[in-house]
Structure 1
């Protein structure tokens, strides 16, 4: 039998299947989706791969190498995951192995040792019993290969469990448990003088091993008694493997009543008549959370599970906490702050269908979920759903495919949908359920910064804003200031020669961080010490341009010395919670943060939200720039809906911009209409697809190959494509082409280009969803 294997070499662009012979001893359990250890290359180095296909014969002309080991008796990749991986590969045009690596925990990639654990000695194959030699768990050894068929059968029967351990990163979590030593207790029971201890031991007869906490809870005894009885020999102390996560399942339908909200009922009706993905635009956070609970309840009644995908870590903790407290269901929480071991535990529990609800960031979106009724994609406008490293895919599109092959619902949720997403809905590709409220009245104040300059105020904080902050504090309320730059300034320029300090890698302006006296690249995070002289002309006449949180905080402390001012610039959950509590109930008067973190901040005492420099968002070199500004403003407005006498303050040099006018009247549809007029003229989304091709390699070769690709596209499609470039992209160290087109089948041609360059000295990267160009 032949296995077609994709080899797992993350640093390589190898993207083809290799034929390997399956030795007879592996034939019975070698399966599609299993990991294998294979010899690769002239040196026959041993690497991991995945079986993608099984064949009776090979078309390869030459001697085939044999698989060294089939690592898994049961596949780690499901049929659905392999189908999803092939879908992503066809759409993103990238190596298959990189996609497969997203679908399993890192611990399974780092596998170094395999362990066999007997669950049922009684029914175990007699020959295998000899291997264990009365041990419950043994290390799998090379000389066990002749028993692989027998082991595979016992695994299927449930008599043996396979465990993999990556010793350098994953350690089993152990827990101490206590159980009655019946023979010792029988012989020495009368020696005990304490009636309480005797009573405890009497009640403990026949009970299973339990932790000290469980014993204290069940038998109302203290820890000292348990430890004392253990030391004396009445209790045996044992160490058992324990999951790092806990599973709790309590029915939810008894706790959640049917809703009378007409929009939520419309959402439920759309699910019942489901024909296409749903775009859900809730009025506010309360409506969203009620919708989530209602859908979870419906899925529970149908014995279905729910996956809630969120764009960032803070949202994952917040949503998990709300669902768990309102439903008491078992909720899995997956994000990048999990240890490798914790993610492995969650992975195993998910494969066993142990969770009714899973809350995950994009990191866990492709795990092997079981029995899913509904996928939610919260804050679907977020850029975090677009993977900007290989594989470069759009999670919206992937989850739509997942819902099709698993016969589940996919609900995109956004308070302010992107222009592209909303237009897709208007064209009938999405079922729109919306609750835009034009009558929301939140006082809005626009401050023209040009007038501040005219009166000699060069500070980042206007005089009017300072007065409003003082009034807000006098009312006992808090102020939230939003600046999308965590550092002191956006750039540093020499007044003498005009040189702007740039990143040596990306050629992007470096931001100045005053706290650490460093220049930091916002793209690649490159850092360098700040020298107080120009590297070109050695002048010390340097100017900080643009504003950041550090600068605003400095200006506020100078002008408002009695105010307590804090900043939030980290996604650490504990830090966030502490600052949020102090902001709501403590001494913090003014909190400075970015628009990303501001979305997660709650507070009934917020009386003022200010966008210190809205132009930094609205005037960015990005066709989505005004949308980002408009969306941030709408998010702030929703935060203040239920707060009396609250104000949004907008500092800008362009008070008459169209997006601001649409925001002031609260008309999202008018904003979309005006934006579409501009985008049609500029040939931007949603009228044109925008793709990017990066060509990496030797500098003298990449431009020639870029021109070849450009000419190939132009000769094939003519005026149907608009191609800009090639130019040099310093961030990616590559020649770059930007392609605008209106064709749905261009991926097929991209695929041909990709295949043509598989054996080339240059690497061609396709990015169909570039968010920042």
Structure 2
């Protein structure tokens, strides 16, 4: 009887593949275990077992697996179910979900290694210099990687050299899979057992009387043993003055014995004084949430900024941990995890685990294993959207903080999932509860709560009864007219900054654009330097004196003259965080000002350094993009300045007004979070704009009703589901014809509105032209049937030979 397994590969393949195994492997393998399998031109991939059977495939001959990588499953059946839902709902392949879900250290790809041919006679061979270098290196070591050959020859293209050696039968290639994850081990030392008796100890010290440093190391070891009563690490001894050579000599003499213990890479300490009490209003909200969970799986918690939502979350987490359940706490930005981890670990200690892309591969694998084992070290998992894919087996509660944030939506690559929606489905598999928290809920969530689909709880009072900040509008049109502007700062804002600084309080300034200036313009002919590969102007960075494209990373040195008319009269237009930071240094030279944006937070601890420095009051003024707008808690902020509110209002997106409202309210919420009332200055050319008025009055209801009316009129969510189909190709005409064909076929076969093909605001990226088609599916229509019809049309589109090179991506609920 033949034995086969079904596996999914980390590639965009529509279905699982079948591989042959022997009987012993068949009995050993379980669903959710990894195996290394050959695929394509003998490349080896890490595949995941999803089934076992005895039926050979009909269309191809099943290959044998390369090796088994796990002793027990590392993916749970519930996870596989969830992945299948994501693949089906977001119209992508299960392979893409698998690749996105697993930490890359668990997804091994083979590496091509070069080995010498055993029966090769080098005497007759005619080698070039490069070939001889490679051949000689292989005589000294058994294998070479391609990267090692690149370094050896100091060339980027080494494949011709390798091919010539293969033709001469001097070398052979083979694929090798290496395990990337290694547990962290700590080196400890202990005294050999025979020296533990008192008389032997005295003779040992006498024996070392001439080796003074070795004697000191032994005495130091005893001191640590007596005071700490725990194993002594080699690092502890070397830190106290003994050097590595002394410790090695003691090991060689058989006095010390070294041993290794595995240890987690990330550990947290609990604080003893971390307890707190809830205010009356918080207690009421807490009870409302608990009551709502009895009748609803999902509850929307609408708590204004600084109302103490985190304290309520901690109380809820505590209740679920007592029941032995796991809790997932999702955040929209990695920056937010920094502060939250400190607050939660103070309360829950080492029961907290963190999972996001700024953590190293090995740290993420350790968290994965702790969650899989339902370890005490991973009762509360804090993370960005990728934490959704962890192998939970006893999930009780999912908290989605700042649920309105657009960063919960993955845009590229596939799966283009929305973490909030996918988390609600995941909770359904475990019969777990979901709490959506926000001071400015998304229109869809608020609509669902209003129609009874979600439970609802609210908290409309700031913690400690602190007054909400006073919001002041500054009319930029009027200020420029009266010449009361210094750079991008109005006299009103400068006075407010001076006053706040004199009170010893800190300031946050918000400008949702990084770089120095969005573009450079020639004042003679109006030419603006463009990216040669994308349809966007290049952003100017003064610090590096360069122009950079934010889409493809293309850079050029800052031009000294116009590329079109050679005029030297060049001017920067618009402004970003870098320009504001430089202006602050001129206006307030004696005050420390920093900026926080994508360019300054690139390292693993980029966020921590800035947030800690600001929290410890080392920085007086912090300038930043939307990273600053969300959930950060600083006690000493007296003033928040929004430098240009109009930037947010006029975006080509049906959510622009909703997002502008949310962003401004969230940024404003960073001010005056303790005792003294804070102030918010909003600089705008349009102080009478509806959204700005609604922000000033904190009138969420008015914004919600107005936007809901617009959405119903123009067929947008929550009344319609959107499917955005994007087409890309380097040939403009071919793309145009392909997109027209697709729109015609979609319009004929779907009984729903189809818009397009349209050019998006940035219509060319990395030399590929882009067209977008929007399908709007009404609430009453069957979503599954419509998506199946779209899939069939896309399959027939790919069957047309001239359209096959056109790249298509499908994005469900794209915004």
8 Å CA contact 2:404, 2:442 repeated in 1: yes
For the residues of structure 1 that align with 2:634 and 2:684, how far apart are their CA atoms? 26
Answer yes or no: is 1:626 the counterpart of 2:657.
Answer: yes
Do 2:292 and 2:456's aligned partners in 1 also have CA atoms closer than 8 Å?
no
**Conserved 8 A contact 2:592-2:621:** yes
- For residue 702 of structure 1, the aligned residue among 729, 735, 739 is 735
How far did 1:680 drift?
3.0
The secondary structure found in structure 1 opposite 2:652 is coil
Give the Å deviation of 1:298: 0.6
1:450 to 455, 467, 477: 477
Matches within 5 A, 1:481-520: 481-520=509-548
| TM-score for the superposition, normalised by structure 2 | 0.79
SS at match of 1:27: helix
* Aligned-residue offset at 1:752: 2.2
Contact 2:44 2:110 in 1 (8 A): no
Partner of 1:750: 790
Deviation per residue, 1:376-425 (Å, 9 max, x gap):
11111122211111111111121111101112112111111122222222
More off after superposition, 71-80 vs 413-422: 71-80
Matched, 1:279 2:300: yes
RMSD: 3.6
- What's the CA shift string for 1:13-61, capped at 9, x where partnerless? 43233232222331112222222233333x4443332223323324514
Helix, strand or coil: the match of 1:666? coil
1:5 partner SS: strand
What residue in structure 2 maps to residue 767 of structure 1?
A: 811
Which residue among 742, 759, 783 is the counterpart of 1:727?
759
Q: Please give the secondary structure, in 1, of the residue aligned with 2:434.
A: strand
Contact 2:746 2:793 in 1 (8 A): no
Name the counterpart of 1:424.
Answer: 448
Offset at residue 660 of structure 1 (A): 1.6
Distance 2:21 2:182 in 1: 32
Match for residue 141 of structure 2? none
> Is 1:433 the counterpart of 2:457 in the alignment?
yes
8 A Cα contact 1:442 1:647, kept in partner: yes
Q: How does 1:574-585 map to 2 (within 5 A)?
A: 574-580=605-611, 582-583=613-614
Distance 1:553 1:215 in 2: 43
1-structure distance, mates of 2:31, 2:604: 40
Whether contact under 8 Å (2:596, 2:623) holds in the other structure is yes
Aligned twin of 2:648: 617
- Does structure 2 conserve the Cα–Cα contact (< 8 Å) formed by 1:316 and 1:335? no
1:362 to 385, 389, 396: 385
Aligned equivalent of 2:75: 77
Retained in 1: the 8 A contact 2:90–2:812? yes
Q: CA, structure 1 residues 224+450, in 2 after alignment: closer, same or farther (shift >3 Å)?
A: closer
3-state SS of the aligned residue for 1:101?
helix
How far off its partner does 1:748 sit? 2.2
1:372 aligns with one of 390, 395, 406:
395
Q: Which runs of 5+ in 1 are unaligned?
A: 114-164
Tell whether the 8 Å contact from 2:307 to 2:460 is kept in structure 1 after alignment.
no
Task: Give the Å deviation of 1:102.
Answer: 2.4
Q: Are 2:291 and 1:269 equivalent residues in the alignment?
A: yes
The answer as to 2:410 corresponding to 1:387 is yes
Answer yes or no: is the 8 Å Cα contact 1:93–1:754 preserved in 2: no
Unpaired runs of 5+ in structure 2? Answer: 112-175, 207-214
Are 2:19 and 1:20 aligned? yes
Q: Aligned partners of 1:374, 1:21: CA distance in 2, in Å?
A: 41
- Higher alpha-carbon deviation: 27-36 or 650-659: 27-36
Contact kept, 8 Å, 1:610 with 1:650, in 2: the verdict is yes
User: Aligned equivalents of 2:508 and 2:269: distance in 1?
Assistant: 38
The alignment partner of 1:46 has SS state of strand
> C-alpha separation between the residues in 1 aligned to 2:177 and 2:18?
28
Partner deviation per Cα, 1:557-591 (whole Å, 9 max, x = no partner): 44444444332333357554554455455464432
Query: Which residue does the alignment assign to 1:714?
Result: 747
1:223 Cα offset (Å): 8.1
Residues 192-341 of structure 1: pairs in structure 2 closer than 5 A: 192=204, 210-212=231-233, 233-246=254-267, 260=280, 261-271=283-293, 273-285=294-306, 287-341=308-362
**Contact in 1 for aligned 2:637/2:673 (Cα 8 Å):** no
- Relative distance call for 1:567 and 1:19 in structure 2 (3 A) is closer
Q: 1:133-153 CA distances to partner (integer Å, 9 max, x unpaired)?
A: xxxxxxxxxxxxxxxxxxxxx
Summarize the Cα distance change of 1:222–1:660 in structure 2 as closer, same or farther, 3 Å threshold: same
Correspondence for 1:662 = 694
Structure 1 residue 167: deviation in Å?
5.6
- Give the CA deviation at 1:192: 4.4
1:522 maps to what in 2? 550
Q: 1:574 to 1:6 in 2, by over 3 A?
A: closer
Q: TM-score, normalised by structure 1?
A: 0.83
* Equivalent residue for 1:347, pick from 368, 381, 402: 368
For structure 1, which segment, 226-235 or 663-672, has the greater mean C-alpha deviation from structure 2 after superposition?
226-235
C-alpha contact 2:306 2:673 (8 A) present in aligned 1: no
Q: Determine the structure 2 residue equivalent to 1:677.
A: 709
1:39-118 paired onto structure 2 within 5 Å: 39-41=38-40, 43-58=41-56, 60-61=58-59, 63-110=61-108
- Secondary structure, aligned partner of 1:703: helix
Q: Does the residue aligned with 2:28 lie in a helix, a strand or coil?
A: coil
Answer yes or no: is 1:606 the counterpart of 2:637: yes
Residue 465 of structure 1 deviates from its aligned partner by 1.6
| Conserved 8 A contact 2:753-2:777 | yes
Alpha-carbon distance change, 182 to 466 in structure 1, aligned in 2, over 3 angstroms: closer
User: Quick one: distance in 1 between partners of 2:572 and 2:221?
Assistant: 73
Report how far residue 294 of structure 1 moved.
0.8
Alpha carbons 2:46, 2:109 under 8 Å: kept: no
How many residues matched?
708
Q: Is it true that 1:4 corresponds to 2:6 in the alignment?
A: yes
Summarize the Cα distance change of 1:222–1:47 in structure 2 as closer, same or farther, 3 Å threshold. Answer: closer
Query: 2 CA distance for matches of 1:200 and 1:576?
Result: 39
Query: Match of 1:236, SS?
Result: strand
